[in-house]
Amino acid sequence: MQRRQFLLASVATTALAAMGPMMAAAPKSPLLDPWTGPYGGVPDFRKAKVGAFADALKHAIDLNRAEIAKIANSKAPPTFANTIVALEDAGRPLGRGAAIFNIYASTMDDDAMKAVEKAMNPVFAAFGDEVVQNPALFARIKAVYDKRETSGLSPEQQRLTWVTYRRFVREGAALDTAGKKRLAEVNQDLSKLYTDFSQNELLDEESVWLTLEKADLAGLPDWLIAAAAEAAKDKKLDSKYVFANTRSAMEPLLTYSTNRTLREKAFRMWTSRGDNNDAHDNKANIAKILSLRAEKAKLLGYPTFAHWICDYQMAKTPNAAMDLLMKVWAPAVARVHEEVADMQKIADAEGAGIKIAPWDYRFYAEKVRKAKYDLDESVMKPYLQLDKIREGMFWAAGEVHGLKFSEIHGLPTVHKDIRIFEVTRGGKHVALWYFDPYARAGKSSGAWMNEYRTQERFKTPIAPIVSNNCNFVPAGDGKPILISWDDATTMFHEFGHALHGMNSNVTYPSLAGTSVVRDFVEFPSQLNEHWLPTHEVLSRFAVHFETGKPMPDELVAKIKSAKTFNQGFLTVEFLASAILDMKLHLAGATPIDAATFEKTTLAEIGMPDEIVMRHRLPHFGHIFGGEGYAAGYFNYMWADVLVADAAEAFEEAPGGYYDKALCQKLHDDIISVGNTVEAADAYRKFRGHDATVDALMRDRGFPAPKKS
């Protein structure tokens, strides 16, 4: 369920994602050139030379600095046009260069690129503070903000003014001179620590792996063995089998291997990323990050960093977020105990002579699923081909959003494996979608969506360019890549983020696409997961890779009947990470030792012994690799509340998930409006009421929370 969008650290100029015409003089570096060619221009990765990134981006910052100075020092009275819109149009060369920089940082992060990141991230942070702390600029923004309701501005223009002003205030524009100076120092230190944390995490994923012999493969299905053999070839380890230190490799190994000793070894390796007391250890970085964040929050006038983050979310307060998490925690833990009891019975019946441990959970959960539902992953997998699932995503997007996807060739990409599709509606161009499906050295693990270019239309219509990124391992010999049900769900999830970006139809890029509050951005993506298990998708695209026959109705029925299976595990491993994230950031200036805090806090909340957090602290990149999900990992659960409620609307609609009227309402009220509307108001308009936790509990098969 991971979403990763790499952005410049704290740069408050709001046009960084906008890639249209420039105001400043033509940039000297080809990296910063306006994007040319078809579809309103596309990024030309042939011009991207990693060794030239730093100089080009520094030049782009100089260009943007000149634009900011022109706006801030204008003698004309501040207006929406000469201040807010001018800011929105500034930074175009920097936006183009930053887009390519971020793509390389997430997908092509070799040693040379790592060095550029280390050099440039503090520069970005410093420039962001420079812009925010420009008193003349902020004075003009505030002047427009103070008169926004009496200046004849449209609702969207008022919203942009509010968002711009709020962003500057949140980043310290109203601080005194001493406060601004110290905040800039804190941001500098944090930018370096975020880079160090992320690179340590990646290094532990790339430099450590399991090399197995044929005798070690007991229980593993053919498709997994073939992928491990292919991975071994890449490392020049012929006749061996390699499993990378990533979720996509480790989870299936832990699910199928009958070798318990091997499972334990793999589990400990995987869950110890960033926690090996070596050069890549992240525990000291965590302590420094938390201390600096606490200081940052105090400087900005908030009790804790969690209060600063939540203030700009739907949740509004840490208490509201924690209240939701703890309402779900108790029934989820109770369900885990039931799941473990079921697994222990099977282990005992087999004479295993063990007590279920974390490295046993996935293995015995599959046995329980087979026993209870006559369903196991190996039966589903032959029907789940990567390319067919992608086609299913396209088909559903056509039915729900009226979109058509057509592959195009000949455009430059950052890597040869990337495919490009034109997205149209009614024959008119809507967007480009880049698909980067395979794992490789230097690529971040997991799956995510990224925006190469954000939609806008305030000067001239500019169509979005978005990407989805995964880490599948090719099967080799031209064989189709078979994926798990969870992988298929993740693909629909990340594609939901892409659809959010593609369907955007707003005026200003700062309000476009996925530029919404974080606990709302997961709503469209998590809702999109619900189209995968529909009969319409499975009957067309879940076809056997050898026979071409669709998934049998009885297998579909088993999948649906097992919907709430293992929800205790899935919910608890997520909630543990979300709760610790919030508690860490509510601790304020209290010094934190990551190892001690993780152990004691999990014990305090009653973490089952058989599960570990989905993301242990030393590799919790969501919250320590930047500020995107810091004190906000709860966002996924907050969005799940909305999703469960919205899903009931589709289930009750005459046309189900393909009900034309409700799909149109989803588009009009949610998917197309970006941040032009307050998130809570947008949802209320779509659904007719606020969401409560009750629908979520029903969806997961948990008992309804007791009324207080």
Q: Sorting pLDDT into bands at 50, 70 and 90, what band is 21?
A: very low
Question: Would you state the pLDDT for residue 703?
Answer: 87
Tell me the residue range of the domain where 70 lies: 30-198
> ∠ at Cα 485 (229, 519), nearest 5°?
115
pLDDT surpasses 80 at 394 = yes
* Contacts (Cβ under 8 Å, ≥6 apart) of 186: 292, 295, 296, 299
Q: Sorting pLDDT into bands at 50, 70 and 90, what band is 9?
A: very low
Spatial separation of the C-alpha atoms in residues 65 and 69, rounded to whole Å? 6
Please identify, among 174, 198, 222, the residue that sits at the C-terminal boundary of a domain.
Answer: 198
Q: Are 263 and 359 in contact (CB under 8 A)?
A: yes
Which amino acid type is present at position 326? M
pLDDT digits (tens, 9 = 90+) for 167-213: 999 999 999 999 999 999 999 999 999 999 999 999 999 899 999 99
Q: Sorting pLDDT into bands at 50, 70 and 90, what band is 8?
A: very low
pLDDT digits (tens, 9 = 90+) for 302-349: 999 999 999 999 999 999 999 999 999 999 999 999 999 999 999 999
Please identify, among 271, 298, 316, the residue that sits at the C-terminal boundary of a domain.
Answer: 271
Which one from 494, 522, 610, 627 is the annotated catalytic residue?
A: 494
pLDDT surpasses 90 at 400 = yes
Question: Would you state the pLDDT for residue 12?
Answer: 36
DSSP secondary structure string for all residues of 402-432 = --EEEEE-S---SSTT-EEEEEEETTEEEEE
Claim to verify: residue 105 and residue 194 sit in the same structural domain: yes
Question: Would you state the pLDDT for residue 29?
Answer: 87
pLDDT digits (tens, 9 = 90+) for 57-69: 999 999 999 999 9
Question: Would you state the pLDDT for residue 706?
Answer: 64
Average pLDDT over residues 256-282: 96
Claim to verify: residue 246 and residue 125 sit in the same structural domain: no
% of the chain at pLDDT higher than 70: 95
Q: Sorting pLDDT into bands at 50, 70 and 90, what band is 223?
A: confident
Per the annotation, the verdict on 598 as an active-site residue is no
Claim to verify: residue 42 and residue 182 sit in the same structural domain: yes
Question: Would you state the pLDDT for residue 433?
Answer: 98
Spatial separation of the C-alpha atoms in residues 641 and 635, rounded to whole Å? 10
In the predicted model, what is the mean pLDDT of the chain?
A: 93
pLDDT digits (tens, 9 = 90+) for 515-570: 999 989 999 999 999 999 999 999 999 999 999 999 999 999 999 999 899 999 99
Question: Would you state the pLDDT for residue 19?
Answer: 36
Claim to verify: residue 95 and residue 242 sit in the same structural domain: no
pLDDT digits (tens, 9 = 90+) for 227-243: 899 999 989 999 999 99
For the chain, how many structural domains are there in total?
2
The pTM score is: 0.91
pLDDT surpasses 80 at 495 = yes
Claim to verify: residue 216 and residue 94 sit in the same structural domain: no
Does 640 map to a domain?
no
Spatial separation of the C-alpha atoms in residues 395 and 488, rounded to whole Å? 15
Average pLDDT over residues 295-303: 98
Does 514 map to a domain?
no
Question: Would you state the pLDDT for residue 704?
Answer: 78
Claim to verify: residue 187 and residue 262 sit in the same structural domain: no
Does 174 map to a domain?
yes
pLDDT surpasses 70 at 707 = no
Please identify, among 249, 271, 293, the residue that sits at the C-terminal boundary of a domain.
Answer: 271
Average pLDDT over residues 409-437: 97
pLDDT surpasses 70 at 484 = yes
Average pLDDT over residues 624-628: 93
pLDDT surpasses 70 at 690 = yes
Burial of 216 (0-12, 13-18, 19+ CB in 10 A): middle
% of the chain at pLDDT higher than 90: 90
pLDDT surpasses 80 at 3 = no
Spatial separation of the C-alpha atoms in residues 10 and 14, rounded to whole Å? 10
Does 428 map to a domain?
no
Claim to verify: residue 181 and residue 85 sit in the same structural domain: yes
Average pLDDT over residues 696-706: 86
Both structure tokens of 401? 């959003």
Does 88 map to a domain?
yes
